[in-house]
Amino acid sequence: MPLPVLSDVPEALRFLSRLPVPRLPFEAAPGGPPDLDRLGPALPAAGAVLGLIAAAVFLAAHGLGLGGFLAATLAVGTLVAITGALHEDGLADVADALGGWSVERRLEIMKDSRIGSFGVCALVLAFALRLGTLAALAAEGALAAAAALIAAVAVSRLAGLWMLSALPFARADGLARSAGVPGLASRRTAFAVALVIAALLIGPTLGPMALLGGVTLGIAAFFGIARLARAQFGGQTGDVAGAATLTVEIAFLMGLLIFARQP
């Protein structure tokens, strides 16, 4: 992994999580919003660090005899806590906004901090899918499930990065504009970093077919969210990026599970 990618991981962790990451001596002084063109390649590596924390909780809980489901629950709960429910909030806002009758009304609903019935249902489904998939992957071995979680968190952090370039901004004053649009070189490097992390984790545990299945379903989920966002909102927002991240994470895990069970 190139040195610039590693040196940007602390800033990427501060961007993606609520972890109290101190500013290190080699980092430049903060100067406004994050530059995602520079920071993009470090996002999968930072995601892997977040996934590693959650995976450690999973392994500890599983080792204590709590079983796959409770271990998955504690791991996902840890992930939600350290990320500040950033992506869950985006998913709930997007789900609620789909109840609007026009693009303008949908964007208005999405900006509302209150959560409605659509948002609640989306969150319940998202948690159920993550917990169920992780618990099922535990049948392949606790280490395999832990590796799957780390890889899923790393790969899914590509979704927000690529969404910025896949669709126009839905709002003229959206916060997502301040981070800029990452260039193709940044996005390609980020994809390569994520693929290397996933291959190193999934290849030895669940096999190459599982990796292929996870990547394929993850890409399909991304394009599904992008198409939905274009049709319903006229573009992307920070909430759309969060919803895409969580959806890709779930799809990647499900792809691993489906193809890991193939003979």
pLDDT digits (tens, 9 = 90+) for 104-153: 999 999 988 889 999 999 999 999 999 999 999 999 999 999 999 999 99
Q: Residue 177: pLDDT above 80?
A: no
**pTM of the predicted model as reported, rounded to 2 decimal places:** 0.92
Percent of the chain with pLDDT over 90: 75
User: Which is more confidently placed, 44 or 29?
Assistant: 44
pLDDT at 52: 98
Distance between CA atoms of residues 225 and 229, nearest Å: 6
Alpha-carbon dihedral angle through residues 70, 73, 77, 83, given to the nearest 10 degrees? 130
Name the band, by pLDDT with cuts 50, 70 and 90, for residue 4.
low
Alpha-carbon torsion angle 61, 207, 226, 123, nearest 10: -20
* Unique residue bearing structure tokens 């290190």: 24
Q: Which tokens belong to 214?
A: 């996870």
**Distances, alpha carbon 44 to alpha carbons 2, 169, 204, 215, in Å:** 13, 23, 20, 14
Task: Kindly tell me if the per-residue pLDDT of 172 is higher than 90.
Answer: no
Element (H, E) at 190: helix 184-202
Rama region for 141: left / alpha / beta (φ>0; ψ in -120 to 50; rest): left
